[in-house]
Amino acid sequence: LAVVVLGPQAWWFSEEEVSEALGGAPVVRAGHKDFPDGETYVRLPLELRDVKGEDVLVVQSLAPPQDKSVWQLLLLVEAAVGAGARSVLALVPYLAYARQDKRFLPGEPVSVKVLLKSLAAFGARALFTIDAHSPKSLEHFGGYYENVLLFDELAKAVASGEGGWELAVIAPDAGALERAKALAEALGASYDYLEKYRDRLTGEVKVKPKALSVRGKVVVIADDVISTGGTVALAARSVLEQGAEGVVVAASHALMAEGAFAKLSEAGVKAVYALDTLPPKEGVRYVKCLKPSLRRVALSGLFKL
């Protein structure tokens, strides 16, 4: 027997779509509140659904404010273990802290390691996430994990929105090259990448000039995360200067921090396509991520109804 628990940061997913994708699995929402002093409280609604002896899938995206979302996830995992679940699985559509996957400067932590080891330590047996910044860093979890890539789904949305144009997919940095390649293959388009440098002290981003074959084409910039929009805006300017007909973005995760949308529009970006791994933001064209991700959970054989 198995049950899905939707955490506070899964509020934009409907119980029906989750249940339907998992062959009619029971779905409950966790209770949550913040104490007046700021501490976090969560609770499994055991009066609605006991989890004793069952496989429990906790769905929680690590949306801003990330630290609160992380903490809610850890508390829910511990609560499910404490309530006697047979095994606890976590579906984390957006994995926060994944970009701090190394010590870029001496004295820094490997934040993603802290997060993944904590999840495992409190009893998560398996982790499913979508397009983690560096898939290799998921090994810190130490247990079963899957990094779900949904470029075919993103490509479908881009193809229907930008139909009629010759497309070229560009990665804004070498780290996104595999993403650009996968998206380009799904779109039947060419791909290339720019070289980006980030000043680790000031955070300032620069792009090395590079000739790209984009003249007369609509460029699709492919990246994992849009945060401030700075990376994509630089790439957009670079391809428009080289004669691109237009530029759109396809990203797995649209954090869209304050001012990101305006920054992208000013740089000439005419559409933002993203998976709905994070709470909806105005202006973003969303592609649903849950059904294909839950299919992977079902196929793993770890969640048995």
Q: Does 227 bind ligand R5P (CB under 6 A)?
A: yes
Q: How far is the CB of 281 from ligand R5P (least distance, A)?
A: 13
Q: Considering the rule CB under 6 A, would residue 222 count as an interface residue with ligand R5P?
A: no
CA distance 102 to 278: 24
Within 176-195, which residues bind ligand R5P (CB under 6 A)? 176
131 binds ligand R5P (CB under 6 A): no
- Give residues with Cβ within 8 angstroms of 251, minimum separation 6: 222, 223, 224, 225, 226, 232, 272, 273, 274, 275
Beta strands in the chain (DSSP E): 2-6, 27-29, 31-34, 40-43, 55-59, 87-92, 124-130, 144-148, 167-171, 190-193, 195-198, 205-208, 218-226, 246-254, 269-275, 284-287
Active site residues: 196
Give the interface segment with ligand R5P, choosing from 49-57, 84-92, 106-114, 219-227 (CB under 6 A): 219-227
The piece of 23-31, 56-64, 124-132, 220-228 that touches ligand R5P (CB under 6 A) is 220-228
Q: Please, which of residues 72-101 interact with ligand R5P by CB under 6 A?
A: 99
List 30, 180, 225, 275, residue binding ligand R5P (CB under 6 A): 225
Does 223 sit near ligand R5P (CB under 6 A)? yes
State yes or no: residue 111 binds ligand R5P (CB under 6 A): no
Closest alpha carbon to 274 in 62, 93, 97: 93
Residues that bind ligand R5P (CB under 6 A): 99, 172-173, 175-176, 223-231
